[in-house]
Amino acid sequence: MVNGVIQKPHEGVSMLYSFLNASSPSTRETQYFEMLGNQGIYDKGWTAQTTPAAAPWQMTFPDTDPITGYKWELYNVAEDPTQSNNLADTYPDKLEAMRTTFTMEATKHNVYPIDNSRAARMDVSSRPSILQGRNELTFFKGMNRMSEGVAPDTKNKDFSIIADVHLPSDSENGVLVTMGGRYSGYVFYLKEGYLKYHCKCARLFLHLFVFLSLLPFFLFPPFQRLTPPPTRAHLINVHRQPGGHNTL
């Protein structure tokens, strides 16, 4: 108990003994596994696991019930460490006992309910968010990074970005706003006084738009959603505005 709050016990088996004596036999007798609906159990030299319904890199997934829709495999890893001989048909009673052990371990460690969705579980719009019901957000200086769940959702919809920017010269460089991660996202930035927009969606497409008129100018609205969903971004209505105060 910590500060009056009951704590969960530490799960697993300590590995300290293996550092103290490298020749000590393993004290791990049972270990469960579950990830993206793929299930497995190790118990006393045997393993049982489900055959994946799709390759790990496939984001689309067949409609497979996570409990009844998977085929199970059985291996005696004490004698067959490479798991080359599936014994599921040879020892059906052993496989059933292993599946029961998995159910017990999964229940103990709060694995259920099992979710085998892929792209859907990454959609932050399915989670509670302070953004729900809002269609306009204002950001101020000092807001450096926001997680996707609390950032404006600009995916597959019309949106515009308006920013007040004070430029000391016509050859400024720097990022105005960016959103995304390793695989997808966009960035608005200045390079030598030109406004540029860079958009990437996984490896499906990569676009770079360069506004040929030097700043300052007025830009609104930059993006319109197309039906079916667009394969590229559309930038429209670019106008010049004199003076050193710029609105993007």
Please answer whether residues 101 and 109 qualify as being in contact, where contact means their C-beta atoms are separated by less than 8 angstroms: no
Cα–Cα dist 10/14, whole Å? 10
User: Is the domain of 150 the same as that of 201?
Assistant: yes
Query: Which of residues 122 and 6 earns the better pLDDT score?
Result: 6
Residue range(s) defining the domain that contains residue 239: 129-247
User: Is the domain of 105 the same as that of 177?
Assistant: no
Q: State yes or no: pLDDT of 12 exceeds 90.
A: no
**Cβ count near 242 (within 10 Å):** 7
Cα–Cα dist 94/48, whole Å? 9
Q: What is the pLDDT of residue 90?
A: 97
- The length of the chain is 248
pTM: predicted TM-score of the whole model, two decimal places: 0.61
Residue 121, phi then psi, degrees to nearest 5: -70, -15
What is the C-alpha R_g of the chain? 27
In a domain, 8, yes or no: no
User: Is the domain of 145 the same as that of 104?
Assistant: no
Q: State yes or no: pLDDT of 151 exceeds 50.
A: yes
Q: Write out the two tokens for 106.
A: 């999964």
User: Is the domain of 157 the same as that of 243?
Assistant: yes
What tens digit of pLDDT does each residue of 156-170 get? 777 777 777 777 877
What tens digit of pLDDT does each residue of 67-101 get? 899 999 999 999 999 999 999 999 999 999 999 99
Q: Write out the two tokens for 113.
A: 């309910």
Least confident residue range of 3-17, 38-52, 184-198 = 184-198
Cα–Cα dist 50/43, whole Å? 15
For range 194-202, the mean pLDDT: 79
Please answer whether residues 159 and 223 qualify as being in contact, where contact means their C-beta atoms are separated by less than 8 angstroms: yes
Name the most confidently modeled range: 23-32, 56-65, 126-135: 23-32
Please write down the long-range contacts of 40-46, taking CB distance under 8 Å and 24 or more positions apart.
40/102, 41/98, 41/99, 41/101, 41/102, 41/105, 42/77, 43/98, 43/101, 45/76, 45/77, 45/78, 46/74, 46/75, 46/76, 46/77, 46/78, 46/94, 46/98
User: Is the domain of 241 the same as that of 138?
Assistant: yes
**Residue 40 belongs to domain with CATH number:** 3.30.1120.10
Total domains present in the chain: 2
Q: State yes or no: pLDDT of 240 exceeds 50.
A: no
Q: State yes or no: pLDDT of 119 exceeds 60.
A: yes
Q: Looking at 101, 121, 141, which one is the last position of a domain?
A: 121
